[in-house]
């Protein structure tokens, strides 16, 4: 009788137990910016292809894409702007491929700069994919900062007007951009802004940043990217205010701002609350080699930031509080230890009476910097209940080990080795799939006496689940690029090959190849040109379908110094083809643009431009379109 009773209890527990499931996962096939190079003031599209390697589909409205743009300041990345979020109106089945194009309008004040970007895929409020930093070139614009003086202000201001024939010439758009630097006695400041004006939204500040450097501290206002500690606040852009002050042995940092913009509920989106974050960090330099700091960060949703008119909208306002200690210790001259320990309290619904879930996280990182060798290794453990909204790269329920090794045997070659491994399901929950993922990267940079630069890299990414029948895949990516300067000309050729294999057969095996070529040429003292080509093809090895993307760009500029005029013409041709029976595509587009610049004086410049864009859909001719555009721009430097 006892055995029968025990058998019934066991059977009931098995029926009530949640099924084993795998977390949502995505595998990156490629990401590329097109066109590249891009004209300042024009739109660049950040094209990305991923594969749903999880076991669950992605219904439309449950996921969205967003990205961040960075400038390069020497060897350091500096946050510039955040792209618009894109919520694709398509369902992505498990094992299916998904492509997206995220537009970004390059500010006109960034001519001659190289920008970096990275994209994020968010599913059900959780970031499931983050690309590496990729770059694209903005056509050069020379700018000489004013000489330093006790009191000086200078820079440039640009006013632009654009319109197109798409809606009967009703696409009026004005842009005001400014790049201003100044110095007042012992203080200096830097101000950048990019404001868009339309009929329905007269003022939309896309970029606003004021940095004020004074003896009493550094004040940042606008689009800032503060960092407190790797686990509490790191890598999160925001629109807000930051203050930093270091005096004697005491250093203080305070920051507050909005990290997520609100999104009203719509047909393909459940909406998104505005999210604000504030924090501080106070450190004390105990010895020249030892610094200990305490920090605290609170991130909270504003439930009144959007209108919820139906009970079908299920989003809840959330909150996370993170606090802890951080220590930096320099030892043996070239070593540094960074130790970070944080605790958190997370509330999934601010309107519920339940107390917050408590979690902990720690990270230990050691760095070595020598003349011929640099090294970094880090290990971290993120508790399953730990939550830090202000550190989006910190994912709960993970044990992470990563490291980097750089070898510089000569000034003409460099070797780098990277390793990253994580395991999840730290509590060994039988209702969850345990994932072990490892990524190994090997890269080499080689410069020949002919100034030829050769860069190669190999990356393997392996993800295995327990049980292996749920997840077992591997991605191998090979990259190489060659850059060759030829007097006043420069040529660059790149190739990338990626292979994705799923041993569970839940996802289709894919082979992706990407070829890029670009060059800049100074044909005469007055005539210059640049051209770029990007070709990518993805082969589905299961159903033998192929997806192809091509982009060709060309740019010509000619100057008339005696008449203080210059002409610039650029064109872009792009095609997209996919023979998949589920989502076939055969698209093409052609754009032509011509600008004339008149330098009225050393401080004033007028620009007039016209453009044409034609889009063709060979499968759906009714979607064909074409439009004309006009542009005028006035730039004043002082």
39 has a pLDDT exceeding 90: no
Phi/psi at 106 (5° precision):
-75, 125
* Cα separation, 174 vs 163, whole angstroms: 9
Average pLDDT over residues 430-451: 92
Is 535 in the same domain as 494?
no
Q: What CA–CA distances, in Å, run from 60 to 100, 267, 362, 431, 497?
A: 13, 10, 36, 26, 30
Task: Return phi, psi of residue 560, to 5°.
Answer: -120, 90
What is the band of 327 on the pLDDT scale with cuts at 50, 70, 90?
very high
324 forms beta bridges with 295, 342
Q: Which tokens sit at 566?
A: 């210059």
586 and 494 share one domain: no
Residues 6+ apart with CB under 8 A from 311: none
257 or 146, higher pLDDT: 257
Could you tell me the pLDDT band of residue 16, with boundaries at 50, 70 and 90?
very low
Q: Is residue 44 part of a domain?
A: yes
In sequence order, what DSSP letters do the residues of 67-101 get, joined into one string? EEEEEEETTEEEEEEEPPPB--SS-B-TT-EEEEE
Average pLDDT over residues 59-86: 86
The DSSP annotation for 2-51 comes to HHHHHHHHHHHHHHHSPPPB----EEEEEEEEESSSB-TTSEEEEEEEEE
What average pLDDT does this structure show over 249-277? 90
Are 294 and 320 part of one and the same domain? yes
Structure tokens at 131: 């690309």
Which pLDDT score is estimated for 144?
47
* 494-518 pLDDT, tens digit each: 999 999 999 988 888 999 999 999 9
Question: Considering the domain boundaries, does residue 179 fall inside one?
Answer: no
**Adjacent-strand bridge partners of 511:** 499, 539
Per-residue model confidence (pLDDT) at position 311: 66
Residue 140 pLDDT level (bands cut at 50, 70, 90)? low
pLDDT at 7 over 70: no
Assess whether the previous peptide bond of 395 is cis (omega < 30° from 0): no
CATH of the domain at 565: 2.40.160.40
Residues 500 and 522 grouped into a single domain: no
- 437 lies in the same domain as 523: no
- Contact call for residues 29 and 97 (beta carbons, < 8 A): yes
State the alpha helices, DSSP H only, in 160-226. Answer: none
CB contact at 8 A, 59 and 94:
no
What is the C-alpha separation between 264 and 257, in angstroms, rounded?
Answer: 20
Express as a percent the part of the chain with pLDDT over 90: 60
Query: Is residue 13 predicted with pLDDT exceeding 60?
Result: no
Asked whether the beta carbons of 529 and 522 are under 8 A apart, the reply is: no
Q: How large is the average pLDDT for residues 461-482?
A: 91
Domain of residue 472: give its range: 397-508
Q: Which of 33-47, 184-198, 575-589 has the lowest mean pLDDT?
A: 33-47
504 and 571 in a common domain: no
Q: Is the whole-model pTM more than 0.75?
A: no
Cβ-contact 365, 356 below 8 angstroms: no
- Which residue's entry shows tokens 């099924």? 19
pLDDT of residue 338: 97
* Mean pLDDT, range 433-440, rounded to an integer: 93
Specify whether 441 is located in the same domain as 517: no
For CA atoms 426, 430, 433, 436, give the dihedral sign: positive
**Domain final residue pick, 396, 423, 443:** 396
Average pLDDT for 156-181 = 92
pLDDT of residue 271: 84
Whether residues 450 and 517 fall in one domain: no
Q: Which of 5-19, 478-492, 549-563 has the lowest mean pLDDT?
A: 5-19
Q: Rounded to an integer, what is the distance from CA 311 to the centroid of its chain?
A: 34
pLDDT at 11: 40
Does the residue 446 lie in any domain?
yes
Q: Mean pLDDT, to the nearest integer, of 382-395?
A: 94
Does residue 257 belong to any structural domain of this protein? yes
Q: CA gyration radius for the chain?
A: 27
- The percent of residues in the chain predicted with pLDDT above 70, rounded, is 94
Is 554 found in the same domain as 539? yes
Beta-strand runs (E) in 349-452:
357-369, 373-382, 398-410, 413-424, 434-447
DSSP code for 107: P
Number of domains in the chain: 4
Mean pLDDT calculated for residue range 111-136: 87
The model's pLDDT over 330-362, given as tens digits with 9 standing for 90+, comes to 999 899 999 999 999 999 999 888 888 999 999
My answer on whether 542 and 478 are in the same domain is: no
Together in a domain, 367 and 426 = no
């Amino acid at each position: 009788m006892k055995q029968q009773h025990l058998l019934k209890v066991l059977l009931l527990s098995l029926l009530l137990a949640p099924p084993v499931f795998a977390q949502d996962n995505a595998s990156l096939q490629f990401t590329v910016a097109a066109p590249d190079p891009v004209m300042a003031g024009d739109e660049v599209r950040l094209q990305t292809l991923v594969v749903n390697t999880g076991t669950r589909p992605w219904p439309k409205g449950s996921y969205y894409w967003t990205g961040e743009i960075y400038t390069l300041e020497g060897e350091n990345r500096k946050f510039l702007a955040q792209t618009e979020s894109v919520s694709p109106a398509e369902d992505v089945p498990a094992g299916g491929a998904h492509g997206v194009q995220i537009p970004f309008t390059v500010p006109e004040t960034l001519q001659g700069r190289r920008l970096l970007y990275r994209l994020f895929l968010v599913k059900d409020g959780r970031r499931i994919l983050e690309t590496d930093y990729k770059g694209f070139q903005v056509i050069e614009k020379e700018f000489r900062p004013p000489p330093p003086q006790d009191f000086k202000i200078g820079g440039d201001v640009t006013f632009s007007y654009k319109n197109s024939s798409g809606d009967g010439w009703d696409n009026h758009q004005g842009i005001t951009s400014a790049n201003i630097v100044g110095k007042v006695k012992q203080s200096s400041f830097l101000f950048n802004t990019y404001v868009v004006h339309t009929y329905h939204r007269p003022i939309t500040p896309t970029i606003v940043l004021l940095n004020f450097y004074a003896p009493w501290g550094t004040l940042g206002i606008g689009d800032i990217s503060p960092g407190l500690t790797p686990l509490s606040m790191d890598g999160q852009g925001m629109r807000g205010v930051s203050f930093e002050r270091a005096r004697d042995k005491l250093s203080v940092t305070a920051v507050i701002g909005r990290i997520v913009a609100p999104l009203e509920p719509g047909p393909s989106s459940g909406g998104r609350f505005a999210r604000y974050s504030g924090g501080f960090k106070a450190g004390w330099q105990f010895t020249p080699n030892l610094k200990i700091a305490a920090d605290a960060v609170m991130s909270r949703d504003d439930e009144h930031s959007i209108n919820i008119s139906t009970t079908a909208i299920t989003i809840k306002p959330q909150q996370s509080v993170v606090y802890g200690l951080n220590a930096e210790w320099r030892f043996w001259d070239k070593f540094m230890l960074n130790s970070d320990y944080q605790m958190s309290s997370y509330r999934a619904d601010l309107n519920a009476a339940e107390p917050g879930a408590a979690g902990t996280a720690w990270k230990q990182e050691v760095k070595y910097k020598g003349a011929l060798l640099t090294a970094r290794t880090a290990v971290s453990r993120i508790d399953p209940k730990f939550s830090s909204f202000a550190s989006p790269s910190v994912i709960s329920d993970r044990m992470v080990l990563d490291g980097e090794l750089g070898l510089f045997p000569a000034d003409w070659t460099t070797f780098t080795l990277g390793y990253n491994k994580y395991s999840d399901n730290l509590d060994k929950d039988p209702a969850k799939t345990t994932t072990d993922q490892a990524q190994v990267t090997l890269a080499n940079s080689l410069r020949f006496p002919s100034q030829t630069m050769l860069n190669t890299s190999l990356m393997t990414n392996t993800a295995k689940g327990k049980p292996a029948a749920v997840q077992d895949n591997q991605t191998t990516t090979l990259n190489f690029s060659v850059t060759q300067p030829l007097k006043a000309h420069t040529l660059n050729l790149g190739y990338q090959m990626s292979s994705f294999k799923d041993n569970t057969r839940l996802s289709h095996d894919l082979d992706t190849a990407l070829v890029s070529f670009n060059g800049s040429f100074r044909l005469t003292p007055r005539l210059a040109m640049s051209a770029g080509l990007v070709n990518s093809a993805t082969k589905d090895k299961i159903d033998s379908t192929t997806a192809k993307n091509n982009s060709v760009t060309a740019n010509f500029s000619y100057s008339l110094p005696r008449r203080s005029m210059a002409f610039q013409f650029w064109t872009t041709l792009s095609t997209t083809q996919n023979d998949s029976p589920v989502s076939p595509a055969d698209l093409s587009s052609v754009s032509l643009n011509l600008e004339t610049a008149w330098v009225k004086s050393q401080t004033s410049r007028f620009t007039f431009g016209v453009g044409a864009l034609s889009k063709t859909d060979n499968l759906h001719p009714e979607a064909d379109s074409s439009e004309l555009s006009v542009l005028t721009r006035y730039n004043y430097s002082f």
